[in-house]
């Protein structure tokens, strides 16, 4: 059953609960800029680690002035994980347990699509991120990430197949890449996002599997876990990949030093890859991912162990390791994300939208000159873990939640 909730956000009306009493005293930097409010995060941090630069965390708040609506198109999905658009505007959605569904823009949910290789859906595993071939209209190929049972445990794998014309099955499904090594200790931190870059190659995010025995491999160039990978449609290392100086580096590596990257997106104007990453207790990150760079985990981090112990040497900066563009402490658990490429809501143009799991909201980050200059929290108070978000062919944003909902967000 559908239902609709309207969100009308205007400067004199609706305030975030954690803002200060004098929030109505806004600051405008220059004509055309958004009004500035106090930071949206006021909770106690887990550490007293200082940021590396101003605006790296708890940046000023912003508020959407254009009225918009959010509509629940369906609540009939089962643990949806990834969402992407088909050329005709319908949505192709993965469900963690191992099925795909096609959903129309009015919320009609198709039957489960068969022919998908078996997944291990224990813990954080399952059928994860998905994307369609840029030439889908002619070749009907789709690509997805999943957790695969293999010798030695489980691993993050990439598969492809052809969606049948009847849209009931995946034809000739084949695994094209496996992120070695596999691990038997635990079922966490698979990463799992996938998208096409401008050259027609695939970018894939892979987690470091969480266990203390695998965590250090995020720094190893001979292992594919804890990395961003760049591969061809057939799973081979993509031409033009960066070269790492360390011996034995895997040719499919694009960047290293990641913990659990559950979101990747291409910036609309720069074409650069951006990424969201789960930190431990504190230290969730947004990174601008550049080739051959090291993003530090677990050597540097703004988080601590869940036990409260420091991680490694308890440092946040080290030469040769990149700083996050932005981080959160306490965490929001950032997952799938997308840049807004439309203009129907002017203040959203080129903003980064991120699904927050433990935060139970959608983050909007305003980015200028590769720095975050404003943060807003949307769709709060719904008790929904937002797993992924995408922009549809109609310009609206579509977001899925662990609870099985599909939201459509658009100008009123």
Peptide bond into 281 cis (omega under 30): no
Q: In 238-340, which ranges are E strands?
A: 253-256, 260-266, 273-278, 284-289, 326-328, 334-339
Of all helices (H) and strands (E), which one includes residue 367?
A: strand 361-368
Q: Concatenated DSSP letters for 35-71?
A: PBBS-S--SPPS--PPPSSTTSSSPPB----S-EEEE
Pairing of strands 170-178, 153-163: antiparallel
Residue 128: Cβ-neighbour burial (10 angstroms; 0-12, 13-18, 19+) = buried
Pairing of strands 386-391, 352-356: unpaired
Nearest alpha-carbon partner for 340 in 377, 379, 389 = 389
CB 23 within 8 A of CB 15: yes
CB 259 within 8 A of CB 279: yes
> Per the residue annotation, which of 6, 189, 258, 361 is the catalytic one?
189
φ/ψ (deg, to 5) at 137:
-60, -25
What percent helix, strand, coil does the chain show, rounded to 5? 5, 40, 60
**189 classed as catalytic:** yes
Contacts (Cβ under 8 Å, ≥6 apart) of 358:
331, 332, 333, 385
Contacts (Cβ under 8 Å, ≥6 apart) of 81:
94, 95, 96, 126, 127, 128, 129, 192, 387, 388, 400
Peptide bond into 390 cis (omega under 30): no
Of all helices (H) and strands (E), which one includes residue 159?
A: strand 153-163
Question: Which of the residues are catalytic?
Answer: 189
């Amino acid at each position: 059953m559908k239902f609709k909730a309207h969100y009308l956000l205007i400067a004199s009306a609706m305030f975030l609960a954690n803002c200060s009493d004098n929030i109505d005293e806004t600051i405008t930097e220059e004509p055309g800029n958004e009004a500035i409010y106090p930071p949206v995060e006021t909770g106690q941090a887990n550490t007293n680690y200082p940021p590396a630069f101003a605006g790296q965390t708890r940046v000023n708040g912003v508020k959407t002035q254009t009225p918009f609506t959010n509509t629940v198109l369906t609540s009939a999905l089962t643990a949806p994980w990834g969402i992407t658009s088909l050329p005709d505007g319908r949505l192709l959605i993965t469900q963690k347990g191992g099925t795909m569904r096609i959903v129309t823009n009015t919320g009609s949910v198709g039957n489960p699509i068969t022919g998908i290789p078996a997944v291990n859906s224990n813990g954080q595993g399952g059928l994860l991120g998905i994307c369609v071939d840029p030439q889908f209209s002619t070749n009907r190929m789709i690509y997805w990430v999943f957790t695969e049972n293999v010798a030695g445990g489980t691993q993050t794998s990439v598969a492809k197949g052809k969606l049948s014309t009847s849209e009931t099955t995946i034809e000739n499904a084949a695994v094209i890449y496996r992120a070695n090594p596999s691990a038997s200790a635990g079922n966490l931190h698979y990463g799992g996002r996938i998208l096409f870059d401008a050259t027609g190659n695939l970018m894939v995010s892979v987690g470091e599997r969480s266990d203390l025995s695998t965590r250090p491999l995020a720094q190893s160039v001979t292992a594919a876990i804890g990395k961003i990978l760049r591969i061809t449609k057939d799973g081979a290392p993509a031409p033009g990949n960066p070269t790492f100086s360390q011996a034995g580096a895997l040719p499919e590596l694009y960047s290293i030093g990641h913990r659990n990257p559950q979101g990747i997106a291409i910036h609309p104007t720069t074409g650069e890859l951006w990424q969201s990453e789960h930190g431990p207790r504190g230290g969730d990150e947004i990174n601008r991912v550049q080739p051959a760079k090291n993003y530090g985990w677990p050597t540097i981090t703004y988080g601590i162990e869940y036990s409260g112990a420091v991680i490694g040497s308890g440092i946040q900066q080290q030469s040769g390791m990149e700083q996050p563009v932005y981080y959160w402490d306490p965490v929001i658990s950032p997952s799938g994300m997308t840049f807004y490429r439309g203009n129907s809501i002017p203040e959203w143009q080129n903003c980064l939208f991120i699904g927050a799991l433990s935060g139970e909201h959608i983050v909007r980050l305003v980015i200028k000159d590769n720095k975050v200059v404003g943060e807003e929290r949307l769709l709060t108070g719904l008790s929904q873990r937002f797993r992924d978000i995408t922009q549809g062919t109609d310009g609206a944003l579509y977001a899925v939640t662990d609870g099985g909902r599909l939201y459509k967000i658009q100008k009123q």
